[in-house]
Structure 1
Amino acid sequence: MSRNETELLLKGYGLTTAEFFYRMPDYQNVLNTFVWQDYDLAPDHPRLFKFIEFWHDEIEGPLHSVRFTHRKLLATGEWRNVVGEFTLH
């Protein structure tokens, strides 16, 4: 499925960044990190939770914790149509 970033932003999506802390399969005392980013809808975060389910089903390293942040990149009143451009020098 091809997604146009501008269309997603106009539909209310924002950029979600998650940091996964997981244990190494062979060395349970070692924590490693993985960073994931995608456009997602707050506050439910369906794509983030779908990825967490994928991790539980397909990745051998058990999750220790997940922390994430969400930033709506385009909000009401922030977008404007620019008709012209002025160049200096």
Structure 2
Amino acid sequence: MSDRAFLAQLDGYGLTTAELHYYRPDAPSLLQLFVWQEYDLAPDFPVLLEFLDHWRRDIEAALHSVRIAHERLIRPTEWRAVDGVIPIQ
């Protein structure tokens, strides 16, 4: 059995972290923080946009701001071929 996250990374997905600052209806003067992480495709972020649509539809908390960080964890390696022999003594 293979890991879903690993397969997503091979397909070009990277780890996306979103900080959502929001106000709850029962405490409108208190700014709260929710951190969300999932594998997503930059720069369109379809998984994050789906989550934000869910937030707007089903959660009774008004969003103040969203800060996004994204990093591809698996990417082509950087190497250069060395033509020669290095003796080790």
Q: TM-score, normalised by structure 1?
A: 0.81
Question: Cα distance, 1:77 vs. partner?
Answer: 2.2
- 1:1-89 aligned within 5 A: 4-77=4-77
Q: Give the % identical residues.
A: 49
Q: TM-score, normalised by structure 2?
A: 0.81
Aligned length: 76
Moved over 2 A (4+): none
CA distance in 2, matches of 1:5, 1:63: 28
* Structure 2: runs of 5+ lacking an equivalent: 79-89
CA distance in 2, matches of 1:25, 1:16: 27
Instruction: Give 1 or 2: higher strand fraction.
Output: 2
Question: Cα distance, 1:19 vs. partner?
Answer: 0.5
Q: What's the RMSD between the two structures over aligned residues?
A: 1.2
CA distance in 2, matches of 1:5, 1:77: 19
CA distance in 1, matches of 2:27, 2:9: 41
CA distance in 2, matches of 1:4, 1:26: 38
Question: What code does the residue aligned with 2:15 have?
Answer: L
CA distance in 2, matches of 1:77, 1:10: 13
